[in-house]
Each structure stands twice: as structure tokens, then as C-alpha cells.
Structure 1
């Protein structure tokens, strides 16, 4: 059955839901680095050979969403990160066909570097093909090389972002295509999104003030941070949106085999055992964070092992469906 909104797949009142951020590779770990060298891959280019199988598996194991980023160009010098490798909308269409349950999220599509008509059509196509599961994360972009490469003004990206949002909201509704300041009813966008409107989630600030974001966005996707920082951000967002806006963050996870291992901070996350992770996730849920996208690139264990343990032990603990174990 189609959800009223794809946000229903990741927002469950009273508890945190978990997703996965692509690529599904532990390429930032020592083992991943050794594999990259053996494969003769440039640093920053992930191994995606097992990714489809892992996404299918996660889709059937209770993960609420899969997230991918918009990285048109691999900037080896300034960024050193190829992202998910594939074109964001091509990959979304592929994921629509290999998953059935997960929300499909972007974190995020850089709106000012694409014509909004093509963004609108691509997003509507993914939404229709996936049965209404698209969550369109949007941003103004933080990779300066992309703007001059396309002949665009990096300093005007805030204005371009607002214009693109207005265009998307307009063209996804019946009434024609905007042409010269009016809507031409003889032109139409096909397909229509399956959802009443595709939810827009802002990643970062997109060079907008909080009031504008609260009025125009369905949610926020913020950079990883401490529980205290995220709780404060979530509280401000709830107040600004009167509780309507969803709040999302990410977490770089190195889940250790020792279930009782204490937490050790790593960049954007922690290295820890599942019991400490469960405790931390419950804190985040109680602080008003709706959804967390887990990034496994620093994992010392193979992604499949981590995905299976999260599904078997951690998601049930968050949903209250864990089995009582014999002493």
C-alpha cells in the first residue's frame, strides 16, 4: 500500500529509525584501503561490486531508508571522495527496482547545478517507479569546482536554490509548466509523483535562514554531531516547524564484535559495541532525532556482517521487538 508520504517510512513516533548511507563499503578502514590498492582503484573511489546485494538484503531486514549523494565530478585534489560513483537519479531508478520497503533518499541533490525542469521530471519518475518512496534531499552544494565547470555563479547559489524549490513545488502540481512568469496549461510534466508532493529535506543550510527553511522544507538533514548538539538542533527545528518537520542526521559506525565494547570517538561517529550503540541511539531518539543514516566506510568489519547484526540485535531493541535471551 502506498504511504501518504515517504516520510512515514522513516518517522515513527517515539523512536529512532535507521537507514544506510551509500556507498556500502568499508573503504576508509585499513582492510578497505588494502583492498583498494589491490584493485588499483584511486583513493576515494569505493568498491560497489556487492552493493546491490547488500541493499536488497537491508531492504528485507527492517532498515527504513537508503541514502545517496549527488557527486557529478570526482574531484581528486580538493575533495578526494567519489561519493556513490553513479549518477544520482540513474541510481535512484535502479534502487526503485531492487527494493520494496525502504524510503529512497538523497543527501543531497545540488539544485542550482541542474535545470529544475529536469530535476522535477527525474524525481517524479523515481517516485512513480518506486511506489511513492522518494525523499528528495536538496542542497546548494559545497564543491566549488562544479559551478565554474558548468559556467554557473557559485556566489548566487542561494538565490538559485530558492528559485528551484519554488519551481519544483509548482510543476509537481497540475496546472501546466511555468513559462515566462506564467503557467502554460498546454504543457504538462509526466509522470506525476505518486505522493501528493515529494518531500523536500534540506541538507545543511543551503544559504538560507532558518525561517525560510522552516516554511519551505519538510525536514532537515544535518551533519553528524554530539548528542547534545543534535538535541539542540532538533529542538530548534521542532519549534520552528511546530513539530511538522522531520529531523535527520548521519553517523559513521565501526561496530565491534565485542558487544560490550565502550565507545571510542572516530571522525563523524564512534567505534563501539552494540550495547553501547543501542544506549546511544535511544538517547538520540528521546532527544527528538527521527532518523539516522549509518555510514559504514570506517567499519573494521565487512558491511554484510554489520548490516546483519544491526538487523538482528539493534533494530529490534529500538522497536521493542527483541527476544528475551536465556541467562
Structure 2
């Protein structure tokens, strides 16, 4: 684990280019159980739909880390609800998973998309997040949300309708706990005889919001360093990115990061045209590069790729993305274009 210093990239800087441009990450779980062949295998193995096969997960994460991707992302799904949602997400507890990833990776930012803050006591979130940041050498991006699964709240004796207020309170607590000597105990009070350790390795752990968190755009711009939005059409993404940056600029804050996702089935034939599917497409790499360029023009800083629909082995897909697409994005970044001119 390296020590963080002023010359080292922050976790947020790993997913955004200084002059603008697009970076790619990978969303967990690393399986391809949404392909037709793997769906048939799941049925033969009598596994529930939505529960991924994680047998190759550690090796694939290591491949992602050494291949030049900017980040890996995981979701927070405490309870598998096959009747209403049918998707177990990344399966593992996110903070346990982050600790594991900190030990087997060296380069990628480690992102959550997103921790459902009202379901956890903020003191424990603050300690867990700071621990991951230390163990990973300052690579944590804490994506946060208020949650969209009503079934989880009654199980914990919590009020689903109060999640917006609980979310704001948790964000405030996290900021105080990470920077304050002493233990925050509510209402702005601090108990100086106690402390919450460790403190983060980064000067500040960046928080990005997934969805709206039941908050106003002005609050989001003032309190979050980034937005993670659902996959959407180019015009909608461009409008969201513009509004995000305008709100930050109005507050005289840095531009932060604008993040979205894409469900990718990368075809063998690089010239295969794109066939849209929900939240993504089946496409050859040439059409995919064109789409990535359009996303960059729309103001997207980072795109998290979910590979679960992939019909090809994931190690092959990751290799092609790293070999043939990541260098293209780097070559076409604004700074590279300026240097070439």
C-alpha cells in the first residue's frame, strides 16, 4: 500500500481526465449469466435468476486492474428479492468486498454505486469507508444513495418515507467524522475524549450520488463531488451533464465527475452494427467506439460497463476492450488531440 501525497491522483481523478474526455470502468458482478448460453446453464444448475456465478471473479478483477481500466464498481443489495427485483447485484457485502478488492488490486479506483446510507448507522459507514481508503492507498469513491427498494426498510424497522432526511444527515456525519479530531455525537456536537479511526488516506473521500437521493439539484451540487445516472439517450445524458456542471460552476466548485453505465454484449465481429437492448446494446467494437465518442461529446466523464449480457468469455471481452478500445479513447482525449495538433 502506497502512502497518499499531494502528487498522487485522488480516486476521483482516476476516473476523469483533467481536460475532459471519457474513461471506462467495469461494474460487478463479473459474470455473463444474462447471455442465452449462460442462462441455459443457470437453469441446469438450478441457480435462481439474478444470482451471479462468481467462480472466476477474483481472476477477472485482477485482469481488469492490470489492463488500464479506471475503476471497478459494486452495488449495495442487502436482501435478494427475486419476486420484485430479480437481481442479487454484486452479492457480497460492499465493504467486505471493497476490503478484498483493496488487497488484490493496485490501480483501479474502487467505487460503490451505491451504498444505501439510511440503512446503515453513519458512524459505521464512516469507519468502514476510511478503512477501505487506507487499505487501498486512497482509491475509494463512495457512491451513495437513499435506496429504491421499499422491502429493505421495514426489515430494519426504518421508515422508507424518511429516507431523504436520513440521507442528508448521514452525509453530514461522514464529512464531520473524517475530518474531526473527536467523535461526532449529533447536532454539531463532538466528544473530544473519543475518536473514530482510521481517518481516510485521501484528503477527502469523494462522494457521488446515484439517482437523486430525494434531494434538490442545488443540494446535490453543493454536497456531492459527482453524479452517477442511469443509462439514457444521448440528449438526456448531455442535458444532465450540462445541468450538473452549471450547478457546480454557479457555486464556484470544481466540475466534479459525471458518470453513467452501459450493459455491453461485445460482438466478435468488430463491424457488427449496434442492436440496442435495455440499458445498452450488442455491438461490434467499431460502432461501440463511435458511441463512446458521442458520450464524450455529451459530457460523460466515466462509463461503467456491465458485462453480464456478454455471449463471449469475459476474459476475451476484457482483453479486446483493453487492447483495441482504451488506447483509442486515450488517443482521442482533448489533451492528446491538442498535442497532436
TM-score calculated relative to the size of structure 1: 0.96
Q: Deviations over 1:32-74 (max 9, x none)?
A: 2122123221111000110110000110000100000001111
Equivalent position to 2:37, from 19, 31, 45: 31
Q: Could you say what secondary structure the match of 1:169 adopts?
A: helix
- How far has the Cα of 1:14 moved from its partner? 2.9
Aligned residue in 2 for 1:117: 123
Aligned residue in 1 for 2:10: 5
Aligned residue in 2 for 1:190: 197
Q: Deviations over 1:77-129 (max 9, x none)?
A: 11111111110100000000000000000000000000000000000000000
Equivalent position to 2:206, from 192, 199, 202: 199
Establish whether residue 304 from structure 1 lines up as the match of residue 310 from structure 2. Answer: no
RMSD, matched Cα: 1.1
Aligned residue in 1 for 2:283: 272
CA distance in 2, matches of 1:179, 1:95: 31
Aligned residue in 2 for 1:235: 242
Aligned residue in 2 for 1:324: none
Equivalent position to 1:174, from 172, 177, 180: 180
Give the gaps of 5 or more residues in structure 2. Answer: 333-341
Which of 106-115 and 295-304 deviates more?
Answer: 295-304
Aligned residue in 1 for 2:151: 145
- How far has the Cα of 1:4 moved from its partner? 4.6
Q: Deviations over 1:138-177 (max 9, x none)?
A: 0000011100000000000000000000000000013311
CA distance in 2, matches of 1:152, 1:14: 41
Aligned residue in 1 for 2:339: none
Give aligned pairs, total.
Answer: 321
Alignment of 1:206-217 (within 5 A): 206-217=213-224
Equivalent position to 1:52, from 52, 58, 74: 58
TM-score calculated relative to the size of structure 2: 0.92
CA distance in 2, matches of 1:222, 1:261: 27
CA distance in 1, matches of 2:324, 2:164: 43
Equivalent position to 2:132, from 126, 149, 155: 126
Establish whether residue 63 from structure 1 lines up as the match of residue 69 from structure 2. Answer: yes
State whether residues 221 and 248 of structure 1, in contact with CA within 8 Å, keep that contact through their aligned partners in structure 2: yes
Aligned residue in 2 for 1:288: 299
Aligned residue in 2 for 1:101: 107
CA distance in 1, matches of 2:222, 2:186: 25
Q: Could you say what secondary structure the match of 1:172 adopts?
A: helix
Which of 210-219 and 294-303 deviates more?
Answer: 294-303
Give the gaps of 5 or more residues in structure 1. Answer: 322-327
CA distance in 2, matches of 1:236, 1:175: 36
Aligned residue in 1 for 2:226: 219
Q: Could you say what secondary structure the match of 1:40 adopts?
A: coil
CA distance in 1, matches of 2:169, 2:186: 14
Q: 1:206 to 1:180 in 2, by over 3 A?
A: closer
